[in-house]
Amino acid sequence: MHVNNNEFELIELAFRQHVPHISANTSVTNGDDASVHRIPEGFEWVTSVDVSLAGVHWPDDFPLALAADRAVCAALSDLAAMGATATNVWVAAMATDASALNALGQGVADACNRHGVELSGGDTVKSSNNGLSVTVAGLIPNGDAMRRNQARVGESLWVVGLLGMSALSLEQWQLGQREAEQIRYFARIEPLLSQGVMLRQLGVRSCIDISDGLLQDAHHLAKASGCGLQISLESLPFWQSLSTALGHEKATKVLLSGGEDYALLFSAPTDLPGLEPLQAVKIGTVIEGAGIHVTFAEQTINIPTQGFDHFA
């Protein structure tokens, strides 16, 4: 790739100077050919990669700084689902021009600084579209990671966080309601990092973050664990108020299939102590069999929509 003489100055202006935080485990920082990181004794390194593109993950007219902030936080949510402490972020930015790159850099910096993580490196390229590839890393005690394949029959199914609000917020944006109060639910993702760590410390072993809709991500958890999940529609957070405001059909759709909630779905014993401070909501049960079974008023209902699929 041909390197513009100003590229490194742009990277410095757009990214490095805005994120002063350096992880205690970093021995070679951002700016060398690669960063170098120590793994403390007794810990494992947890990593994840996420891609966000204009027109796919955010509207084309959405502010780029907010879009980049969302992209970093969406990736950090994967660490929350594992129960990891987030430490590092790497960003490869695709930008249409220097102005777009600066806006993306500001959003990356905002997210990194808000969550106390180091911007450890990355890359930039001029592109016909704006986008980010975000790699995140964190630390977790050996063998303690929460996983999708650890749900057990008889456990309760729980949610920490909100469902459906991001989808409703995006809908308001697309309708031109840019000043609506609920816009904030799409504009700003807050990965539940501290909540993920607390769940792990409480002994929760099975967890997934809800990025593609409750039904779809619940299906991933059920399939990995070799079990079924029964979800009670009226037990979902704010079901009654959303049903009253939106009607039964629309409330059902946004709560089950809205996507980009970044709540945490996990299984645990009904009487697990310590869940109260997390405001965890019991929404169902882990059962024998396979698939997701949704009930309303104790009757099984058919749900045609499963959630977001990039290649559907």
HSE toward the beta carbon, residue 212, CA cutoff 13 A: 17
What's the CA gap between 70 and 47, in Å, rounded?
18
Beta-strand ranges (E) seen in the chain are 26-28, 36-37, 43-53, 85-95, 118-126, 131-141, 156-160, 206-210, 228-232, 263-268, 281-287, 291-296, 299-301
- Give the residue ranges of DSSP H helices in 35-157: 64-82, 98-115
Is 122 exposed, middle or buried (CB count within 10 Å of its CB: 0-12, 13-18, 19+)? buried
Given a cut of 60, is residue 9 above it in pLDDT?
A: no
Q: Which CATH class is domain 148-301?
A: alpha beta
HSE-CB at 50 with a 13 A cutoff on CA atoms is 20
Domain boundaries for CATH 3.30.1330.10 within the chain = 7-29+37-141
Where in the chain are all domains bearing CATH 3.90.650.10? 148-301
Query: What does the alpha-carbon distance between residue 135 and residue 87 come to, in Å, rounded to a whole number?
Result: 11
Tokens of 225: 């664990």
Q: Which CATH superfamily is domain 7-29+37-141 in?
A: PurM-like, N-terminal domain (3.30.1330.10)
Q: How sure is the predictor about 312, in pLDDT bands with cuts at 50, 70 and 90?
A: very low
- pLDDT, tens digit, 9 for 90 and up, residues 217-236: 999 999 999 999 999 999 99
Helix, strand, coil content of the chain in percent (nearest 5): 35, 30, 35
What's the whole-model pTM score?
A: 0.91
pLDDT per residue as tens digits for the range 139-193: 999 999 999 999 999 999 999 999 999 999 998 888 888 776 668 888 889 999 9
As a whole number of angstroms, the distance between CA 84 and CA 90 comes to: 17
